[in-house]
Amino acid sequence: MSDSVITPKEAAPRLSSLFSRAYLFGTLMLGGGIMLHAVETYITATLMPSIVRDIGGLPLFAWATTIYVAASVLGSTFVAVRPKSVTLNRCYVFGAVLFGIGSLVCAIAPTMETVLVGRAIQGLGAGFLVALGYAFIRFVYPEPLWSTASTLYAAVWGIATFLGPTIGGIFAAGSAWREAFALLIPLSILMAVSAPKLLPSGEAERVTTKTPFLQIVLLVAAVVVLSFASSVDAPALRSLFAASAVVAIIAAITIERHTEARLLPAGTMRLTSPLARVYLIMLMLLVTICSDIYIPYFLQVLHGVTPLVSGYLVALLALGWTAAAFATANIRGRRANRVIVGGALVEAVATALLVVTLARHNPAGSLPLLAIATVFIFLMGFGIGLGWAHLVTHVLHLAPAGETDKASAAITTMQALGAAFGAAIAGIIVNTTGLVDPGGTEGAVTAARWLYLLLAIPAALGMLLATTLPTGKATSAD
């Protein structure tokens, strides 16, 4: 499939087009699947302190996220390598059912270990639902609406950023975390029942390959090992885990280049492939944005901000992503590539400038300094949001014939890997540069400076790669 795009002369569709009679139910189902995943992500983050207070398991706290992300990689991969007899709308049913089962397990969990089992099942279902959101775009909407549909997903995440903590906070305040998980079960059932009726089957000619089992195992292992590296205290052990993760990633890439059982579309293991560069840009932008996981901590420790306020301040990042996605939804052609480059630059600069704003001790709670830091938090999200929908559109246009499902599912895989690697790398940086030792205010300042300085680099590299994206006819395996 070529990477031809709508020329600027053509009238750009509006977001409201997605809610016209022809596309309304498809929009509600696809947006609903992503909303279910997004809201649950923020609900769980808010509920985890209540969960560990109730049933214990503080040492396993971080694994509630790690195991969820790892399982979502598996779910998104199945969408691409599913048997020919399994249609996309049937995959949607599987995903919704798995999400509901995982929520039920979490709701009745007597121990943290059981919660982790539920989170793994939830993550598997979420991987299905998010991957299908992208895979269904070409079946539900005509080509001029592809970029607009991607913008809608950004809007969903923005809404979830505010809904999730609010819902989670309400249930957490009453120690009703089990009820919060139970609330997701009927929604999952409704979506599973509705999928065969409201979504097309999604059948199309596609290239089928064997399941890329080895690559999946190696990538999941890399995520898990990096998570260990971010949490251990001994520098030597941390280095060993980090090196092991690098070895696992290299092994996965090597196998992917020489096997017929591929995880990614053909040709995407070479930087000469435009599609490979799009995926790499996505990954780098996400690694940088995941430095946000420590923003609430630094706001509270260095600036004296309350936990509730710090949660909503970091939510401005997602709001920035959503605002930028709406602002650039109608851009097409060469201008879209310029927006991707500019967005990566904004994200890199905003992240780096947190070194001199957020990474400072502000015991008096100076509002001007805090306000400037807040602007840069917003701009981090704004930067990635400027180009994300256009990167998604590039993937759909550049996918080789018969491999669009695999290319679409790989977007979710990149999201999951970017989030997992970004969080783990952030943990390694802060734990190595003083967050724990010497700790306190001094350690927090040093750790914050190194974190935002180093994690601005991936976005800067993504900007350089974005200057090489095609604007004319090309294929992913050139």
Q: How far apart are CA 227 and CA 421, in angstroms?
A: 8
pLDDT mean over 21-47 = 83
Q: How far apart are CA 148 and CA 246, in angstroms?
A: 37
Most confident of 168-177, 289-298, 341-350, 405-414: 341-350
Average pLDDT score over the chain: 83
| pLDDT per residue as tens digits for the range 256-271 | 888 877 888 888 888 8
pLDDT mean over 201-217 = 70
What pLDDT, on the 0 to 100 scale, is given for residue 61? 67
Most confident of 73-87, 128-142, 340-354: 340-354
Residue of 185, 221, 167 whose CA lies nearest to 101: 185
pLDDT at residue 203 greater than cutoff 60: yes
The gap from C-alpha 259 to its chain's centroid, in whole angstroms, comes to 27
pLDDT mean over 358-377 = 89
Please report, in angstroms and rounded to a whole number, the separation of the first and last CA atoms in the chain: 12
**Is residue 219 within 8 Å of 248, Cβ to Cβ?**
yes
Q: Secondary structure of 352-384 in the HEC alphabet?
A: HHCCCCCCCCCCCCCHHHHHHHHHHHHHHHHHH
What proportion of the chain, given as a percentage, has pLDDT over 70?
A: 90
Q: How far apart are CA 443 and CA 302, in angstroms?
A: 10
Vertex 35 angle, CA 206 and 47, to 5°: 130
Q: What are φ and ψ of residue 312, in 5° steps?
A: -80, -25
* pLDDT-based confidence at residue 12 (cuts at 50, 70, 90): low
